[in-house]
Amino acid sequence: MADEWHRGEYVIGTDPARLDIAMIHQYLSRSAYWAMGRPLEVVRRSIENSLPFGVYRGSAQIGFARVVTDYATFAYLADVFVLPDFRGRGIGKWLIGVIVDHPRLPGLRRWILATKDAHGLYAQYGFTPLHAPERFMERFTG
Ligand SMILES: CC(C)(COP(=O)(O)OP(=O)(O)OC[C@H]1O[C@@H](n2cnc3c(N)ncnc32)[C@H](O)[C@@H]1OP(=O)(O)O)[C@@H](O)C(=O)NCCC(=O)NCCS
């Protein structure tokens, strides 16, 4: 099941077949502080097992995010980016708004994400610091 949202010349879509995996891999592995060096096969597998969102202008993909979810209680928002030439135009906010309101993700008990410096973006869509960080643990290998 794939959906599309339109705003001016931009489109957000969830069709995995439309994704530009080479562009996503290039951005994540070379420019994303959290995914430097991530192999193509890992990028591909991560997307195959997520709900992916591509942002497009014409045939070119200019943004991405993916959601790891059980579609019932929980979702993890990951690998969010807009290519540098397209930043500061509201595309990132539109993308996060589309994701948190997606009809396949209604009423989830918890969404989580990790960010170094974009707290102010996600705060506009209801994300807050952990209410009870002492209740969370992670198994992190970098
Ligand atoms: C973060 C990112 C996706 C935002 O996309 P964008 O299209 O430039 O964002 P928008 O134009 O919709 O605006 C972003 C909003 O979040 C705010 N914000 C807070 N922290 C931010 C940050 N670190 N980077 C960008 N915007 C940030 C901006 O001030 C803006 O809010 P405002 O319009 O109310 O002032 C984009 O800058 C990006 O790809 N950055 C590099 C990758 C990255 O850091 N991804 C997030 C990892 S958690």
What domains are there in the chain, each with its CATH number?
4-135 (3.40.630.30)
Which of 121, 124, 125 for mutating ligand 1's site (highest number of atoms within 8 Å of CB)?
A: 121
Query: For atom 39 of ligand 1, which residue has the closest CA?
Result: 81
Q: For residue 123, what are its two tokens?
A: 């705060």
**Ligand 1 centroid distance, CA of 56 (Å):** 17
**Ligand 1 centroid distance, CA of 71 (Å):** 26
What are the pLDDT tens digits along the chain (142 aa)?
579 999 999 999 999 999 999 999 999 999 999 999 999 999 999 999 999 999 999 999 999 999 999 999 999 999 999 999 999 999 999 999 999 999 999 999 999 999 999 999 999 999 999 999 999 999 999 8
CA–CA separation, 111 and 27 (whole Å): 24
Helices 40-48 and 21-31: crossing angle in degrees, nearest 10, is 120
**Ligand 1 centroid distance, CA of 118 (Å):** 6
| Backbone CA torsion sign across 126, 127, 129, 130 | positive
For position 2, what pLDDT does the model report? 73
This prediction has a pTM of: 0.98
**Ligand 1 centroid distance, CA of 133 (Å):** 24
Query: For atom 25 of ligand 1, which residue has the closest CA?
Result: 118
**Which residues does ligand 1 sit against, CB inside 6 Å?**
80-82, 87-93, 115, 117-118, 120-121
Closest of 127, 36, 3, 28 to residue 80, by C-alpha: 28
**Ligand 1 centroid distance, CA of 122 (Å):** 9
